[in-house]
């Protein structure tokens, strides 16, 4: 397998419409070097080619569902005492999506 080149990274970045600076391109290439080194290590594991790939990370996970038990809830008024701002029974939170005023 051939190594990634600076030109390849730029080509993929252009196709994804994310253009990269020379510094960013070098960062990506450095990351690919680390990934390649790790893949080389994995490929050195004896008989790795005979290992069946997992289709889901928890294929052999065993679980047992617990019995559903009805418990009494904490009253809403008690819970709202932990909030700085609320209206009726709804918690008010700060706006987290901006309109790019500061850019």
3-state helix/strand/coil string of the chain? CCCCCHHHHHHHHHHCCCCCCHHHHHHHHHHHHHHHHHHHHHHCCCCHHHCCCCCCCCCCCCCCCCCCCCCCCCCHHHHHCCCCCEECCEECCCCCCCCCCCC
Over residues 8-23, the mean pLDDT reads 90
pLDDT given at position 4? 83
Give the pTM: 0.46
Query: How high does pLDDT run on average in the chain?
Result: 86
Over residues 6-19, the mean pLDDT reads 90
The answer to which of 18-27, 31-40, 74-83, 90-99 has the lowest mean pLDDT is 90-99
């Amino acid at each position: 397998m051939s190594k990634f080149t600076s030109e390849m990274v730029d080509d993929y970045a252009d196709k994804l419409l994310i253009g990269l600076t020379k510094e960013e391109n070098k960062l990506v290439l450095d990351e690919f070097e680390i990934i390649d080194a790790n893949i080389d290590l994995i490929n050195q594991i004896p008989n790795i080619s005979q290992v069946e790939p997992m289709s889901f990370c928890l294929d052999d996970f065993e679980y047992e569902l617990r019995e559903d038990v009805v418990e009494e809830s904490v009253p809403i008024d008690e819970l709202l005492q932990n909030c700085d701002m609320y209206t009726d029974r709804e918690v008010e939170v700060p706006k987290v999506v901006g309109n790019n005023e500061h850019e």
